[in-house]
Structure 1
Amino acid sequence: MNEETQKEFNTFLEKWTDTPEQNKKAFLRLRDHLAAKAGVELDFKARPGVTYSLRGVHENQKDKDLFVMADVIEDEPRWLSVCFYGEMVKDPDELGDFVPEGLLGEDAMCFDVDSWDEELLQYIEVRLDEAAESAAKG
């Protein structure tokens, strides 16, 4: 993230008080998982009152602007929607939702996180790994 975007992201996090669902904690876990991947850059797009999007892009990607978009959905309580391009991930346990044209106009696979769920978060982390590997190929 550039300096201005990082500042906006940090302000967003500082103002977000986590709830018993622990969705802020889940969001930070997914952010940390992405940030640890070689070649992955993060970006943040705020649409106050609607969503706050953390986007992952691999430095080798040429045809797509990102490989994952983790949205914080503005609701009570906030919840997460983590979306990937459909062709970049598998969903063997069928925990995601196929969303036609759901990610920047292309078919997507999205996973909703309503509250802390260790198994679901691990499952999404595997999807993050798959998508990052796919993105690394260009």
Structure 2
Amino acid sequence: MSETVGVSMALFDDNFLTVLRNGIQELADGMDGVDVQIEDAQNDVAKQLDQINNFVASGVDAIIVNPVDTSATQAMSDAAAAAGVPLVYVNRQPINLDTLPENQTFVGSNEVDSGTQETIALCDNWAAEGKTEVN
């Protein structure tokens, strides 16, 4: 019997989310007994909430969500929690991060830290080249 993961992406027409979506599909394709159902919310909060509710109703084993609007994540968490379905938010921090149920989590980067590290690396490279100004 296979496990099914429902995936709701905020928008397929986004380069980063396309890479993420393709990676999820490729990983699932390489695993025995794992199926994914990937849906495009088309940047529509109501559509995404419907997708989450449909995943729950269809009996998926887990849900992955890249939220359209993080202010709607409480309703998504509530729907998954009521059915006991594990849920993972990716890339956009849910508004209810501090109160997520035990079987829900968030995976994402800290953009402030990322930007700081990128800036330091650029400055180090320019300094190594003897540049004191960059226009």
Same fold (TM over 0.5): no
Larger Rg: 2
- Per the normalisation by structure 1, the TM-score is 0.34
Which structure is higher in helix share?
A: 2
- Per the normalisation by structure 2, the TM-score is 0.34
